[in-house]
A = this chain, B = another copy of it.
């Protein structure tokens, strides 16, 4: 049965690619208000496509921002597992436009790559699952599992309204497995499953010294300069060994077991590669941990910008009235985001000198998540990859934050399978974003195999 489905998928590669190109032509840039109609158009296009494939219960569900496209096919039987497939149809802005070699919204095929905004992030990736579902329904007339699609339009905005949306639609979205294809593999022949994502707490700290900007010739030596105070405050948040100094910050961070350490240190990161990729003169991180551990399994603290004062050409001897710093912390799954917000706020307030008034604002607090690697859904994904790529996937900890992973983990209590088809050089968020076409076709076949494997022997 699956043979016919795979044959259909192979025979219709040109059609799938043509449809993907239609979707890629829609500049669904969620962050730019002038593209709101394009975001709507992409949602409408997807709803039509999902209906044409044979999915049912098609909905374009509103949120306070851009809508979520929903569709399902639930006729595999009550014993068959239900998979919710997540993707996002919004894309990053294409700036800087003049660095694109081909127009970002005129998808262009060169060799075995397709260039255009959204090719890898994320239209090309989730569309592989749409093609897989079509291949089943147009051959067998059925799927071995129940499927639900949840396609978001605000991922590039930080999934602003998604948590509220998931909480409001818990029954509709309930599933046994969540499948996300919005990550990468190591090279065209080495697949990877993500075993954890880091959370993100993003804060703004404002120090105010005076009611107006002052002149350092008149007041230098009389009142404190908020920039001097801010550098001392922020500079103290990490010690010389790279550890965050906020009391309690590491309290919930479990030490890695030898098995976890072995799994993490799988050769994905090498010091030479990171030095070459970044051009940094030396690496840096918390003492006592390898590079891969520091990025994937340890929390970090970064300052992203300090606003205020004078940053133009030349010299101005201003003592600024107030200064605002943007600071984020990547959290591991063991840490509680709300608790970290509280610890951070309490600490910076405690160390704020009496020459300043301090204001602390939370811009976001999203938890990290760990995947239960013993779940049968994960083993099935590993086998599906192996059947198509000829190799078992590496298990990789992701240093970044994918908010929906925490929502599926904590709200749906479903194991999250992060089965990516992107490559490290796809240029997500950069000019000349591309997607490797063999990965698109392998993605479709991996999806077909995965549904079969997930259903188990009974599903075959």
Contacts and interface: CB of A to CB of B under 8 A. Distances in A.
A158 B302 contact: no
B279 A211 contact: yes
Interface in A261-301: 269, 274, 278-286, 291, 294-295, 298, 300-301
A302 B317 contact: yes
A283 B269 CA distance: 50
Contacts of A57: none
Contact of A302 (B228, B304, B307): B228
Interface stretch (A134-142, A230-238, A380-388, A436-444): A230-238
Contact of A285 (B211, B221, B269): B221
Contacts of A158: 314-315
A326 B310 CA distance: 8
A295 B218 contact: yes
A306 interface: yes
A330 interface: yes
Given A215-B429, A219-B295, A354-B282, A309 B304 contact: yes
Interface residues of A, number: 81
Interface string A399-417: 1110000000000000000
Contacts of A319: 302, 304
A202 B313 CA distance: 12
Nearest to A307: B311
Identify which of A200, A305, A310 gathers the most chain B CB atoms within 10 Å of its CB: A305
A169 interface: no
A354 B283 CA distance: 9
A303 interface: yes
Given A304-B316, A310-B326, A221 B357 contact: no
Contacts of A280: 209-210, 223-224, 355
Contacts of A314: 157-158, 363
A110 interface: no
Contacts of A364: 315
Contacts of A211: 278-279
A71 interface: no
A216 interface: yes
B303 A225 contact: yes
Contact of A306 (B278, B295, B298, B309): B309
A51 to B, nearest CB: 35
Nearest to A301: B228
B235 A274 contact: no
A68 interface: no
Interface string A315-352: 11111100010101010000000000000000000000
Contacts of A223: 274, 278, 280, 283-284
Interface of A: 157-158, 198, 200, 202, 209-212, 214-225, 227-228, 230-236, 238, 269, 274, 278-286, 291, 294-295, 298, 300-311, 314-320, 324, 326, 328, 330, 353-357, 363-364, 398-401, 429
